[in-house]
């Protein structure tokens, strides 16, 4: 029984050694750097793959890469804007590591001419050209841009400056200190304000004269 087990073990060992020497390739630690052919600057994020295998990596920010390959493997380098290039790992290496500096050439792509139109059809362009109300002079455009509505809209989008914000916050704090935590005063119950309003009404300060509203003077 022991002899049979020993013979079987020897057969398995010899078969394994034979298959490795016949089929297996030497494992290589393949490292290197990728540079641009024109500037010789390192190229980051280049895709590096072993052709016909699911093995590969990506170069880092400094163009450096390192991964496991085998002798006679075809390494493919690809990056957007550059020609695909290949490198075959030598089969006569005395060590289990190999380093290389790979240079990549830029790929010039010529695109066909493309014309962009502001309107999809000539009929729409003709209609817009004939009916569009475009200011004729710079004065007309200035009047539109400096109109009261546009100025108010622009002013509403402008953030407050530092001095204005400081003044506003100081007034709020002064009001809170004056009220002492109570409710704000209601001007509808202010007799002085009512007397000024009645006096201005009697004097006719609120009457319209033409298209101008005359407000009471301070």
The predicted-structure confidence for 134-146, as pLDDT tens digits, reads as follows 666 778 778 888 8
Mean pLDDT estimate for the chain: 79
Decide: 89 and 98 in contact? Cβ < 8 Å. Answer: yes
Quick one: the chain helix, strand, coil %, rounded to 5?
Answer: 35, 20, 40
Q: How many CB atoms lie within 10 A of CB 73?
A: 20
Asked if the model's pLDDT at residue 30 lies above 60, the reply is yes
- Structure-token pair, residue 39: 């500037």
Q: Predicted confidence band at 34 (pLDDT cuts at 50, 70, 90)?
A: very high
Q: How many CA atoms lie within 13 A of 212 on its CB side?
A: 4
Q: Which of 94, 92, 100 is nearest to 59 (CA)?
A: 100
Domains contained in the chain, CATH given: 25-104 (2.60.40.10), 122-156 (no CATH), 162-203 (no CATH)
pLDDT at 181: 64
How do residues 42-52 score in pLDDT, each as one tens digit? Answer: 999 999 999 88
* Measured distance CA(65)–CA(205) in Å, rounded: 86
Asked if the model's pLDDT at residue 151 lies above 70, the reply is yes
Tell me which residue has tokens 């290589």.
Answer: 28
Region 19-40: mean pLDDT is 79
């Amino acid at each position: 029984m022991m002899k049979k087990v020993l013979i079987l073990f020897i057969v398995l060992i010899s078969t394994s050694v034979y298959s490795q020497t016949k089929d297996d390739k030497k494992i290589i630690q393949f490292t290197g750097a990728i540079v641009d052919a024109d500037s010789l600057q390192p190229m980051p994020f280049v895709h590096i793959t072993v052709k016909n295998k699911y093995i590969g990596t990506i170069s880092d920010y400094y163009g450096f890469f390192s991964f496991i390959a085998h002798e006679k493997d075809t390494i493919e380098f690809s990056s957007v804007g550059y020609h695909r290039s290949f490198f075959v790992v030598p089969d006569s290496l005395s060590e289990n590591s190999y380093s290389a500096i790979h240079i990549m050439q830029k790929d010039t792509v010529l695109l066909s001419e493309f014309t962009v139109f502001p309107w999809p059809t000539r009929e729409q362009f003709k209609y817009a050209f004939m009916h569009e109300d475009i200011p004729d002079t710079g004065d007309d455009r200035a009047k539109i841009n400096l109109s009261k509505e546009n100025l108010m809209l622009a002013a509403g989008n402008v953030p407050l400056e530092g001095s204005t914000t400081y003044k506003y916050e100081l007034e709020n704090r002064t009001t809170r200190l004056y009220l002492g935590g109570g409710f704000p005063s209601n001007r509808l119950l202010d007799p002085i304000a009512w007397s000024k309003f009645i006096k201005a009404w009697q004097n006719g300060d609120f009457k319209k004269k033409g298209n101008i509203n005359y407000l009471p003077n301070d």
